[in-house]
Structure formats: structure tokens, C-alpha cells
Amino acid sequence: MSDQFDFISANDRPALLAFSTPEWLDSVRTCVQELGYKVHTAATHSDFLIRFSQVRYQLVVLEECFAANTMEENLTLRSLQNMPMSQRRHAAVILLGSSFQTFTPTQAFEKSVHAVINSSELFLIKQLIEKSVGDNAMFLHSYREASNRVYSAGKN
């Protein structure tokens, strides 16, 4: 069944994957599903942007050369980087590729993502994603708590 019309319920943990390398996609999809996420995959840049705008994904894993020959040509990554933080803060964004050193904060900051993972460590992807999501949740905990209080106060 295609995930194009997959219903997302309030209890689901949606994840969006964008890969051009089928082996990497299969590995990451399996691990993310084992972590309890409902997985959607994007086939193109426009598919990614449409999906990302329609669902508040908790996790996004993106290949550095998704639908591109180089990272600089990766329109999806550039779109995420140029997106206002308020539109992407709900998702832990992980960039996977051969040009990164896993969990290097400066590389992640430079690419405007939460974590970078070297593709040579794909055999550890489940643990690396768990750590990335946990670190992101801890880092943004105070912000999210304050945002919820402000939002709740505005409703009263």
C-alpha cells in the first residue's frame, strides 16, 4: 500500500525520509519503524516539501545528496535551511552522508540540522537516531514548554 494517503492519528509519531540511495533508505526505514515511527518517504524535492508542509513530522532523515549529484544541488536541504525555524522546529532533522563526522555539532549547525551522521556508521543507525532525537528533545524542552504556556495563556 502506498503511503501517499496514509492517515496520521494523534498518537502516531510521523517520520519523513528522503533518500536517493535505496540501500540506505531500506536500512533507515527499518530502524525508524522499529523505533515506533510511522514512516513516509519522499521521492522528489516537491514531494518532500508537500509532505513536510502537511504533517508535523517528529523526525526527518535526509540524505546529503537527495535527488542531487552534490550537497549544494540538494534543493530539499536548501529549502529546509531557508525555512523559518518556527516551521521546522517540531522535527528532529538528521542529515546522513559520507562527508560528515558523526555528531559533529559545527557540521550540524553549518547545515542547519540537529545532527549529522556519517554513512559508514549505518550499522548503528537505530542507536544514532535515538540519541539524536533524545538530544533534540532535551535541547528544545524549555523552548517547547514555554511555547505551550504562551499558547495556552493566549487561549484563555
* pLDDT > 70? residue 101: yes
pLDDT number for residue 151 = 67
* pLDDT > 50? residue 86: yes
Helices (H), strands (E): how many in the chain? Answer: 6, 5
Query: Phi and psi at residue 68, in whole multiples of 5°?
Result: -155, 165
Nearest to 99 by CA among 79, 116, 113: 116
Residues of 44-79 as b/e, b for ≥16 C-beta within 10 angstroms?
Answer: ebebbbebbeebebbbbbbbbbbbbeebeebebbee
* pLDDT > 70? residue 2: no
pLDDT number for residue 3 = 47
Residue 112: pLDDT band by 50, 70, 90 thresholds?
very high
The whole-number average pLDDT for the span 11-37 is 96
Residue 1: pLDDT band by 50, 70, 90 thresholds?
very low
Residues 6 or more apart from 63 whose CB is under 8 A from it?
18, 19, 20, 21, 24, 95, 96, 97
> Cell triple for residue 51?
509532505
pLDDT digits (tens, 9 = 90+) for 87-98: 888 899 999 999
- Asked whether the beta carbons of 38 and 14 are under 8 A apart, the reply is yes
pTM for the model: 0.87
